[in-house]
Amino acid sequence: MSETDVPTQHPIFYFHASSHVFQFCWKVENVLYKLCKSILSTYSNVFRDMFAATQDGQIELDGMSDDRPIHLNGLSRDAFKLFLEHTFGRVRTGPYTTDELSKFLHFCDMHQCCHTREFVVHHIFSARFRFHPAQLINLAIKYHVCSIFLFAFQLLAENTRY
């Protein structure tokens, strides 16, 4: 086992008093997060359902220790970081990039994060002039955001006039 195979505890999002351990492996990063299931359940229906399905506690389940974490494969590391920052009250003061907002909206859709989704849609709308209208239309259709679609379609129509 090489040194990069040994997971490290995230310097901010490893709360010793929390209930569940998650592991995120991304190229050379191998990071453990210890997070509170009640907070995650409040912000995500997917997490809520996952924890509800494992409540009987009769057997040791993944996520109960650093040795048996819940693996977060297939997630965007950046989107997960944005979700944690928002969920645990560490929202940044600077603007989000268009790529971050797109990934964040995708994460909210995949993990059924209704309140966080509203936060992301608000930030997309605030940053709407940094997106090409076609990008906004794509996001609006893919994630069913009517307010963004109407704005983007109107902007696109106005830019195509001769």
pLDDT at 56: 62
Please, which pLDDT band fits residue 162 given cuts at 50, 70 and 90? very low
Query: Is residue 161 over pLDDT 70?
Result: no
Contact indicator for 51, 37 with CB cutoff of 8 Å: yes
pLDDT at 98: 87
Q: How far apart are CA 23 and CA 70, in angstroms?
A: 6
The position carrying tokens 């909206």 is 105
| Domains in the chain: boundaries | 1-73, 74-162
Contact indicator for 33, 81 with CB cutoff of 8 Å: no
Please, which pLDDT band fits residue 65 given cuts at 50, 70 and 90? confident
- Give the model confidence (pLDDT) of 97-112 as tens digits: 888 999 999 999 999 9
pLDDT at 106: 92
- Give the model confidence (pLDDT) of 112-143 as tens digits: 999 899 999 999 988 888 888 889 999 999 99
pLDDT at 83: 92
